[in-house]
Chains A and B, each alone.
Chain A
Amino acid sequence: MKEIRIHARAGQGAITTASLLGYAYFLKGMFPYAFPSFGAARMGAPMNAFVRVDSKHVRLRSQIYEPDYVLIMDSTLMRGFNCFSGLKDNGIVIISGNEADVIIPKAKAKQKVFFVPANEIAMKYIGRPLGNTALLGAFCAATGELTMDDLNEALRHRFSEKLQDGNIKAAKEGFELVKSKIK
Chain B
Amino acid sequence: MKELLEGSYAVAEIIKRCKPGVISAYPITPQTHIVEGLAQIVANGELNAQCVNVESEHSAASVVLGASAIGIRTFTATSSQGLFYMAEVVYNIAGLRLPVVMTVAARAISAPINIWNDHQDVVSLRDAGWIQLHAEDVQEAVDLHLIAYKIAENNSIMLPVMVIMDGFILTHGVETIDMPEQADVDKFLPPYKAPYKLDVEKPMTFGPLVDPESYMETRYAIQETLKDVLNLIPKVTAEFAKVFGRTYNGLIEEYKTKDAERVIVAVGSVCGTIKEVVDELRAKGKKVGVLRVVSYRPFPAQQISEALKNIPKVAVVDRAVSLGSIAPLAGEVKAAFFGKAKKPKMISSFVVGLGGRDITKDSIKEIFRLLTGKEKQGEFVDLKPELLKENYEDPV
Contacts and interface: CB of A to CB of B under 8 A. Distances in A.
B175 interface: yes
Contacts of A32: 4, 174-176
Interface of A: 15, 18-19, 22-23, 26, 31-38, 41, 57-63, 65
Contacts of A61: 166, 169, 269-270, 272-273, 359
B137 interface: yes
A70 to B, nearest CB: 18
26 contacts: A19-B6, A19-B174, A26-B176, A31-B176, A32-B174, A33-B174, A33-B175, A34-B173, A34-B174, A35-B168, A35-B169, A35-B172, A35-B173, A35-B174, A36-B168, A37-B168, A38-B168, A57-B137, A59-B137, A59-B272, A59-B273, A59-B276, A60-B273, A61-B166, A61-B269, A63-B360
A62 B361 contact: yes
A23 B5 CA distance: 9
A57 B178 CA distance: 12
Nearest to A36: B172
Nearest to A24: B4
Identify whether the interface residues of A are mostly helix, strand, loop, or mixed.
mixed
Interface residues of B, number: 23
A95 to B, nearest CB: 24
A38 B356 CA distance: 11
Q: Name, among B4, B269, B275, B276, the residue most crowded by chain A CB atoms within 10 Å (CB to CB).
A: B4
Contacts of A36: 168, 172
B29 interface: yes
Interface in B122-138: 137
B174 A18 contact: yes
B176 A65 contact: no
A41 B361 CA distance: 27
A27 B276 CA distance: 25
Contacts of A18: 174
B174 A60 contact: no
B29 A41 contact: yes
A33 B6 CA distance: 9
Contact of B174 (A22, A37, A57, A65): A22
Nearest to B364: A62
